[in-house]
């Protein structure tokens, strides 16, 4: 445009060369800008140019290349830009949905929106251009301006107004886009520099020089509207630079390259204290209640939270304190943390789901001088101060969860790990994807230990054929999960713990702001006395089957046997934690219909009852009913639905629900042996163990048939302090194994305590396993295993007082829990010697569950258990 102009004699002869130089500089810079934008979009898995600006730019290049441009060089430049714009459009279609999680209808239809937008902009620009260059009535004709041999038609001014308008729109929308996103996805300093220089040279300087050299043909440059536009876009671009600088300080780069703001929902690097779960600690309840007050409330002194009876806050705290998404620390169990008063400046300290959606576990006070600036987190937790305290304590210790690579360290795998299954179904290829039609119990894989009857999380998920995943866990590491399940391909519902509507609404808002595709947070009821959403459950929907998974593990790498990597990207330290997983594959119904709940057998009814109680929508419930539960006839799904429950409801959940499940499976027994492995012990009392003993026999409490020596028949497997100290990760990995020293008092049934030592030497346990062996009325043996989320506490199983009338009062449960009862098969019991009132030996479980601890466990004697370090 303007290449055929004939300037009057007073115009400098250098005009064509100088103006062409400025225009060429602008064109070159913009070409580089487009290339960089495409590269950055693909790298960050987003789109760089706002939708309307991209549609307008694309249309501008289409119309000017095909309709307005006169010289071949001009046409070729516009065509080049069109081709590069295709890369930007591709990024919108490919990754645009990531940025529209808050408006899924737009995200799903970005391709159509782009087509409509480009077509409309083409129409509008063609209308303007055809009006402007009409040979009969050209707009604002000028002598010396020549277009296809016609004097007077000024395409230079046409290009000026249309390009300047597009530039103002682009600069303003880019500023709005980065402000709303809160991260630099699709942007960089290089892109800004080339775009700014290109726009400055190609518009302001080029047209400014044209006006200076040939004012009568370019007087429009000094029009008030022109000056407004010429000043507006640089201001917007400079503001963009300032915002870009700030967001880069507070963003997180995901492992797939995407970026997100640090101040969004964080399910691993942040902690959420909800309410106390302790049975006895009123101070803890008050402290946590205070933490839920509005940020403007008066400061309070730190509260000692060391004596809680629940389990995983310590790990949640340690996971929550990383400064960046890439900061991987092992599971510390520091000697204390502080709940300091602080303003609620930022509810979340990292990107979405990196949060341990942790409930109230153990937080202890500690006073260390702060070396980090205070960063307030959810509910007023000072994350920076807490991290500083943790690091100071760790520096005082010789061991850490991931110490420097020792020269002599070799794998400490146990040479005595039994081989329970020579074949490994988890690694066999099953064309239908159905591997466990009758259900199976597996140990979690452990890095640097021999693979036996174990399973990796990848083998559990079967991500290559996974369509929808419903995931429930007490703690969740989103970045780790994203390495296993691609959120762009697999729809996910995360059942999360959040007490209070305000907190739940904030989580939902932050989840939308995080722009993670296909992710829906769900919150079960948490009103009244309900404290924790502690259940671990996966519903994995595939084309051929539904895999129901009940692990004892949270959704964090350490629970699944993985460890951190050194600076070279290598994992060297053996696993520090192990868990157990139950899983069963349910085929689709042959009729393809949605079944009826009332037609389900016990396992299906228990599962559906739990899902309904958690408030999952009809789509999930109907989806579950599309699968065949008939092969689960030998299993029972047991749960703890929290609240103060009357008899009609109480009989189906908690300890009464366990008793009902035992009866329905025909597992009632009079004489029993109980082995309970737990990762957390509360203020356990003999009366509670008596209720557990009765329920394990299929009877409700109070039960006069419970023998007087029942405490001698119950073994509680829990690690001693010495075992934790000598474990692979040392005491810093003992944080999720909790028992308060105050709870280990004269009322605690200490005679039941047994040393928990894993058959994988050096590995700690996060298992919740109950093994029951007994004798039926007819003298036949019986044995079954419980695997699930419930620890040995009244919060998990419920407490029920006996009224003066002799009847049972309300069942009070504080936690959401779930698990599975799996009987030992008749074939494995047929040869058991039951003479002289003998009970089945523990090896009767060998084909049902690999018992992960060394048995019989040594009695504690003078040893002390591992205490929570407060």
Six-digit token string for 354: 């990196």
Q: Is the pLDDT of residue 622 over 60?
A: yes
- pLDDT tens digits, residue range 16-70? 899 999 999 999 999 999 999 999 999 999 999 999 999 999 999 999 999 988 8
Least confident interval from 276-280, 505-509, 557-561, 593-597 = 276-280
Supply the DSSP symbol for 438. Answer: T
Which one of the listed residues 270, 522, 534, 542 is annotated catalytic? 534
Classify strands 270-271 and 355-356 as parallel, antiparallel or unpaired: parallel
- C-beta atoms surrounding 355 within 10 Å: 31
Chain centroid to CA 211: how far?
58
Q: Is the pLDDT of residue 216 over 70?
A: yes
Confidence of residue 648 (pLDDT cuts 50, 70, 90): low
Question: Comparing 148 with 535, which gets the higher pLDDT?
Answer: 535
Q: Is the pLDDT of residue 776 over 80?
A: yes
Mean pLDDT value of segment 287-307: 37
- pLDDT tens digits, residue range 418-459? 333 333 333 333 334 899 999 999 999 999 999 989 999 999
Write out the E strands in 340-422: 355-356
Classify strands 753-755 and 714-718 as parallel, antiparallel or unpaired: parallel
What distance in Å separates the CA atoms of residue 652 and residue 646, rounded to the nearest whole number?
A: 11
| Residue 318 pLDDT | 40
Mean pLDDT value of segment 264-278: 35
What distance in Å separates the CA atoms of residue 42 and residue 258, rounded to the nearest whole number?
A: 9
What distance in Å separates the CA atoms of residue 536 and residue 574, rounded to the nearest whole number?
A: 24
Three-state DSSP class for residue 497:
coil
HEC string of 384-411 equals: HHHHHHHHHHHHHCCCCCCCCCCCCCCC
Mean pLDDT value of segment 251-262: 77
As a whole number, the mean pLDDT across the chain is: 80
H helical segments located in 668-792: 686-696, 721-725
What distance in Å separates the CA atoms of residue 790 and residue 535, rounded to the nearest whole number?
A: 8
pTM: 0.57
Write out the E strands in 554-677: 577-578, 580-587, 636-640, 643-645, 671-677
Q: Is 766 a catalytic residue?
A: yes
CA 150-154-155 angle, 5° bins: 105
Point out the annotated binding site for substrate.
Answer: 536, 768
- pLDDT tens digits, residue range 146-198? 888 788 888 999 999 999 999 999 999 999 999 999 999 999 999 999 999 99
Specify the DSSP element, H or E, that contains 820.
Answer: strand 815-823
CA 479-483-485 angle, 5° bins: 105
Interhelix angle 206-213/15-44, nearest 10 degrees: 170
Chain centroid to CA 589: how far?
31
Q: Is the separation of the CB atoms in 288 and 308 below 8 Å?
A: no
Classify strands 466-472 and 491-495 as parallel, antiparallel or unpaired: parallel
Superfamily of the domain at 436-566+573-591: Endonuclease Chain A (3.30.870.10)
Supply the DSSP symbol for 588. Answer: B
Q: How far is CA 136 from CA 68, 155, 159, 597, in A?
A: 16, 15, 20, 78
Which one of the listed residues 218, 522, 542, 766 is annotated catalytic? 766
| Residue 241 pLDDT | 95
- pLDDT tens digits, residue range 64-88? 999 988 888 888 888 999 999 999 9
Q: Is the pLDDT of residue 350 over 70?
A: no
Contacts of 718 (CB under 8 A, 6+ apart): 677, 678, 681, 737, 739, 753, 754, 756, 865, 866
| Residue 253 pLDDT | 81
| Residue 630 pLDDT | 96
- C-beta atoms surrounding 855 within 10 Å: 16
| CA proximity to 276, closest of 268, 284, 264, 267 | 284
What distance in Å separates the CA atoms of residue 74 and residue 156, rounded to the nearest whole number?
A: 12
What distance in Å separates the CA atoms of residue 488 and residue 500, rounded to the nearest whole number?
A: 30
Q: Is the separation of the CB atoms in 632 and 606 below 8 Å?
A: no
Q: How far apart are the first and last CA of the chain?
A: 76
Mean pLDDT value of segment 822-833: 92
Least confident interval from 99-113, 580-594, 759-773 = 99-113
Q: Is the pLDDT of residue 220 over 70?
A: yes
DSSP-based helix, strand, coil % in the chain, nearest 5: 40, 15, 45
Q: Is the separation of the CB atoms in 813 and 643 below 8 Å?
A: yes
Cis peptide before 856 (omega within 30 of 0): yes
Question: DSSP string spanning 140-157?
Answer: S--TT-EETTEET--HHH
**Which residue in this structure is represented by tokens 């599971």?**
331
| Residue 647 pLDDT | 66
CA-CA-CA-CA torsion sign (487, 493, 498, 501) = positive
- On the CB side of 227, CA atoms within 13 Å amount to 5
Six-digit token string for 310: 């629940």
Contacts of 404 (CB under 8 A, 6+ apart): none
**Which residue in this structure is represented by tokens 């004892």?**
552
| CA proximity to 679, closest of 714, 718, 724 | 718
Q: Is the separation of the CB atoms in 711 and 686 below 8 Å?
A: yes
| Residue 541 pLDDT | 97
What distance in Å separates the CA atoms of residue 716 and residue 217, rounded to the nearest whole number?
A: 94
Chain centroid to CA 409: how far?
33
Mean pLDDT value of segment 724-730: 92
- pLDDT tens digits, residue range 360-382? 333 332 322 222 233 333 333 33
Give the burial string for 165-194 (b: 16+ CB within 10 Å, else e).
Answer: ebbbbbbbbbbebbeebbbbbbbbeebbeb
- pLDDT tens digits, residue range 473-514? 999 888 899 999 998 899 999 998 888 788 888 878 877 877
Confidence of residue 298 (pLDDT cuts 50, 70, 90): very low
Q: Is the separation of the CB atoms in 736 and 558 below 8 Å?
A: no
Specify the DSSP element, H or E, that contains 770.
Answer: strand 769-775
Q: How far is CA 48 from CA 80, 91, 171, 514, in A?
A: 18, 8, 12, 17
Q: Is the pLDDT of residue 583 over 80?
A: yes
Determine whether 98 is exposed, middle or buried from the number of CB atoms within 10 Å of its CB (0-12, 13-18, 19+): buried
Q: Is the separation of the CB atoms in 634 and 790 below 8 Å?
A: no
Sheet holding 355-356, edge to edge: 267-268, 355-356, 270-271
What distance in Å separates the CA atoms of residue 254 and residue 622, rounded to the nearest whole number?
A: 34
Question: Comparing 649 with 637, which gets the higher pLDDT?
Answer: 637
Classify strands 671-677 and 636-640 as parallel, antiparallel or unpaired: unpaired
Q: Is the pLDDT of residue 296 over 80?
A: no
> What is the CATH architecture assignment of 636-845?
2-Layer Sandwich (3.30)
Supply the DSSP symbol for 108. Answer: H
| CA proximity to 583, closest of 425, 380, 412 | 425
What distance in Å separates the CA atoms of residue 117 and residue 112, rounded to the nearest whole number?
A: 8
Q: Is the separation of the CB atoms in 585 and 433 below 8 Å?
A: yes
H helical segments located in 614-741: 618-624, 647-650, 654-664, 686-696, 721-725
- pLDDT tens digits, residue range 376-415? 333 333 334 444 444 454 454 434 333 333 333 333 333 3
Contacts of 183 (CB under 8 A, 6+ apart): 247, 251, 252, 259, 260, 261
| CA proximity to 59, closest of 137, 152, 125, 141 | 125
Classify strands 532-533 and 537-542 as parallel, antiparallel or unpaired: unpaired
Confidence of residue 297 (pLDDT cuts 50, 70, 90): very low
Three-state DSSP class for residue 214:
coil
CA-CA-CA-CA torsion sign (635, 443, 465, 510) = positive
- pLDDT tens digits, residue range 675-698? 999 999 989 999 999 999 999 999
Contacts of 376 (CB under 8 A, 6+ apart): 295, 342, 343, 344, 345, 346, 382, 383
Least confident interval from 264-278, 332-346, 606-620, 836-850 = 332-346
Q: How far is CA 258 from CA 98, 381, 619, in A?
A: 9, 28, 30
């Amino acid at each position: 445009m303007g290449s055929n102009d004939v300037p009057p004699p007073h115009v400098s002869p250098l005009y064509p060369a100088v103006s062409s130089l400025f225009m060429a500089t602008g064109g070159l810079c913009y070409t580089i800008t487009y290339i960089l934008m495409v590269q950055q979009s693909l790298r960050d898995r987003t789109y760089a140019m706002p939708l309307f600006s991209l549609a307008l730019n694309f249309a501008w290049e289409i119309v000017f290349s095909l309709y307005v441009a006169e010289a071949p060089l001009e046409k070729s430049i516009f065509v080049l830009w069109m081709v590069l714009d295709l890369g930007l459009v591709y990024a919108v279609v490919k990754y645009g949905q990531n940025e529209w999680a808050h408006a899924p209808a737009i995200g799903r239809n970005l391709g159509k929106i782009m087509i409509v937008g480009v077509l409309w902009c083409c129409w509008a620009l063609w209308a303007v251009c055809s009006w402007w260059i009409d040979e009969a009535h050209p707009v604002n004709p000028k002598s010396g301006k020549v277009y296809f041999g016609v004097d007077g038609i000024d395409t230079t001014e046409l290009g000026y107004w249309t390009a300047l308008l597009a530039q103002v729109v682009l600069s303003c929308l880019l500023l709005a886009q980065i402000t709303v996103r809160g991260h630099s996805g699709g942007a960089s300093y290089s892109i800004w520099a080339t775009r700014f220089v290109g726009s400055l040279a190609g518009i302001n300087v080029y047209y400014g020089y044209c006006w200076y050299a040939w004012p009568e043909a370019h007087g429009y440059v000094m029009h008030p509207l022109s000056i407004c536009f010429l000043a507006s876009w640089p201001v917007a671009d400079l503001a963009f630079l300032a915002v870009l600088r700030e967001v880069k300080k507070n963003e997180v780069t995901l492992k797939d390259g995407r970026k997100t703001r640090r101040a969004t929902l964080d399910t691993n690097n942040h902690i959420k204290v909800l309410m106390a779960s302790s049975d006895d600690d009123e101070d803890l309840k008050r402290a946590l209640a205070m933490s839920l007050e509005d940020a403007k409330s008066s400061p309070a002194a730190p509260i000692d939270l060391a004596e809680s009876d629940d389990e995983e806050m310590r790990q949640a705290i340690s996971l929550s304190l990383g400064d960046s998404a890439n900061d991987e620390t092992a599971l510390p169990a520091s000697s204390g943390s502080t709940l300091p008063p602080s303003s609620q400046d930022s509810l979340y300290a990292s990107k979405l789901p990196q949060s341990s959606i942790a409930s109230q576990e153990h937080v202890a006070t500690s006073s260390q001088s702060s070396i980090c600036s205070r960063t307030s987190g959810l509910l007023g937790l000072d994350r920076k101060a807490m991290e500083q305290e943790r690091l100071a304590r760790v520096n005082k210790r010789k061991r850490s969860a991931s110490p420097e690579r020792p020269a002599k360290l070799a794998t400490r795998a146990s040479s005595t790990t039994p081989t329970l299954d020579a074949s490994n179904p988890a690694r066999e290829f099953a064309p239908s994807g159905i591997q466990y039609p009758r259900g199976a119990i597996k140990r979690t894989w452990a890095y640097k230990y021999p693979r036996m009857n174990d399973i990796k999380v990848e083998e559990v998920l079967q991500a290559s054929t996974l369509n929808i995943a419903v995931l429930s866990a007490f703690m969740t590491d989103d970045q780790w999960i994203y390495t296993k399940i691609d959120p762009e391909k697999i729809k996910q519902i995360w059942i999360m713990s959040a007490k209070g509507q305000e907190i739940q609404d904030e989580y939902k808002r932050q989840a939308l702001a995080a722009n993670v595709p296909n992710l829906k947070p769900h919150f079960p009821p948490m009103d009244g006395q309900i404290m924790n959403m502690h259940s671990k459950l996966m519903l994995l929907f595939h084309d051929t089957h539904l895999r129901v998974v009940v692990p004892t593990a949270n959704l964090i790498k350490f629970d699944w046997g993985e460890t951190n990597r050194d600076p070279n990207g290598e994992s060297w330290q053996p696993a520090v934690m192990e868990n157990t997983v139950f899983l069963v594959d349910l085929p689709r119904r042959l009729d393809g219909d949605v079944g009826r709940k009332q037609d389900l057998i016990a396992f299906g009814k228990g599962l559906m009852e739990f899902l309904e109680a958690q408030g999952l929508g009809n789509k999930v419930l109907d989806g579950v009913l599309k699968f065949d539960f008939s092969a689960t006839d030998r299993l029972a799904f047991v749960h703890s639905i929290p609240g103060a429950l009357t008899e009609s409801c109480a009989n189906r959940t908690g300890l009464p629900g366990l008793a009902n499940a035992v009866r329905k499976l025909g597992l009632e027994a009079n004489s029993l042996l109980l082995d309970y492995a737990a990762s957390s012990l509360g203020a356990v009392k003999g009366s509670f163990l008596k209720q557990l003993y009765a329920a394990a026999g299929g009877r409700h409490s109070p039960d006069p048939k419970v023998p007087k020596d029942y405490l001698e028949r119950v073994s509680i497997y829990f690690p001693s302090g010495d075992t934790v100290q000598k474990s692979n990760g040392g005491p810093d990995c003992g944080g999720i194994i909790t028992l308060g020293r105050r709870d280990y008092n004269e009322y605690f049934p200490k005679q039941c305590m047994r040393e928990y030592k894993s058959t994988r030497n050096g590995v700690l346990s996060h298992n919740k396993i109950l093994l029951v062996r007994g004798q039926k009325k007819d003298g036949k043996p019986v044995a079954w295993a419980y695997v699930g989320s419930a620890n040995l506490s009244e919060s998990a199983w419920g407490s029920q007082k006996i009224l003066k009338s002799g009847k049972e009062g309300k069942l009070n449960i504080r936690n959401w829990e779930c698990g599975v009862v799996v009987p030992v098969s008749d074939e494995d019991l047929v040869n058991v010697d039951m003479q002289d009132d003998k009970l089945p030996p523990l090896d009767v479980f060998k084909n049902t569950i690999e018992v992960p601890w060394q048995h019989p466990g040594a009695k504690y004697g003078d040893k002390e258990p591992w205490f929570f370090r407060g």
